[in-house]
């Protein structure tokens, strides 16, 4: 059975899309948190890069899956670094995955309602929309900060449904994070797809639980 017969775009009215790793290459974020931040943190605290990575890993783990996790203002305070300014420094590295714009144009043509649902901080969303110009394709965009809960929680989905007005039985949701997909499925979103190529620099990992795409041209 082909992917297009399992994901009947003609019957789908709402398309919900994640940003980092799904539409945009996650290499930017990985490089930022695993290389640039440890480098600046090491300089600031007069420690080695290795020691900085070690300390940061403990801090990252502590806040994973919470609203703090992607709150760049929180990390600015926590690490005593200007995180928004550092992101701005490497904005040239923000890249859109292949065929994303073609896919978004096709959805527009088919008159689908297109929503961006992201855990990213609204300042990061702003920076990435300015750099990539993909914002113009969306009917609306919401962040976990607005909802007061990360996408990994059912509370996020309840509030998102109320705010965006999508009908879950006519909705397709695409994300690169399986935990988020599991929550969306539990909430009742009918069509779920795992985007396996999150970063252009990492080997894709296939999901055992969800149908997947490597590239958006598979849906066109």
In this structure, the number of other CB atoms found within 10 A of the CB of residue 11 comes to: 11
Separation of alpha carbons 143 and 141, rounded Å: 7
In this structure, the number of other CB atoms found within 10 A of the CB of residue 126 comes to: 13
Are 106 and 201 members of one domain?
yes
Are 130 and 200 members of one domain?
yes
Strand ordering across the sheet containing 14-17 = 140-143, 113-118, 14-17, 171-175, 191-195, 212-213
Are 66 and 143 members of one domain?
no
Are 123 and 184 members of one domain?
yes
Tokens of 35: 């290389």
Tokens of 22: 């799904």
Are 9 and 38 members of one domain?
no
Are 79 and 171 members of one domain?
no
Place of tokens 């996020």: 156
pLDDT tens for the chain, 220 residues: list them: 678 788 999 999 999 999 999 999 999 999 999 999 999 999 999 999 999 999 999 999 999 989 999 999 999 999 999 999 999 999 999 999 999 999 999 999 999 999 999 999 999 999 999 999 999 999 999 999 999 999 999 999 999 999 999 999 999 999 999 999 999 999 999 999 999 999 999 999 899 999 999 999 999 9
Separation of alpha carbons 21 and 193, rounded Å: 13
What pTM was estimated for this model as a whole?
Answer: 0.96
- Boundary of a domain, candidates 92, 112, 137: 92
To the nearest 10°, the Cα dihedral for 187, 193, 198, 203?
Answer: 120
- Boundary of a domain, candidates 42, 71, 92: 92
Domain count, the chain: 2
Are 66 and 109 members of one domain?
no
Are 55 and 155 members of one domain?
no
Structural domain boundaries enclosing 74: 28-92
Whether the CB-CB separation of 157 and 148 falls below 8 Å is answered with no
């Amino acid at each position: 059975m082909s992917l297009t017969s399992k994901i009947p775009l003609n019957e789908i009215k709402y398309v919900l899309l994640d940003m980092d790793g799904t539409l945009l290459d996650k290499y930017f974020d990985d490089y930022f948190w695993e290389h640039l931040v440890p480098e600046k943190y090491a300089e600031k605290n007069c420690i080695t890069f290795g020691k900085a990575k070690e300390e940061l890993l403990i801090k990252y783990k502590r806040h994973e899956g919470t609203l703090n996790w992607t709150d760049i203002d929180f990390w600015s305070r926590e690490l005593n670094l200007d995180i928004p300014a550092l992101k701005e420094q490497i904005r040239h590295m923000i890249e859109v995955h292949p065929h994303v714009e073609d896919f978004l144009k096709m959805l527009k043509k088919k008159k689908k309602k297109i929503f961006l649902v992201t855990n990213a901080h609204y300042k990061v969303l702003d920076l990435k929309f300015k750099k990539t110009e993909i914002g113009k394709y969306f009917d609306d965009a919401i962040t976990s900060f607005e909802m007061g809960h990360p996408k990994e929680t059912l509370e996020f989905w309840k509030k998102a449904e109320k705010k965006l007005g999508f009908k879950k039985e006519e909705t397709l949701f695409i994300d690169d994070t399986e935990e988020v997909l599991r929550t969306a499925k539990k909430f009742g979103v009918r069509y779920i797809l795992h985007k396996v190529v999150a970063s252009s620099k990492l080997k894709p990992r296939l999901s055992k639980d969800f149908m997947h795409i490597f590239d958006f041209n598979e849906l066109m």
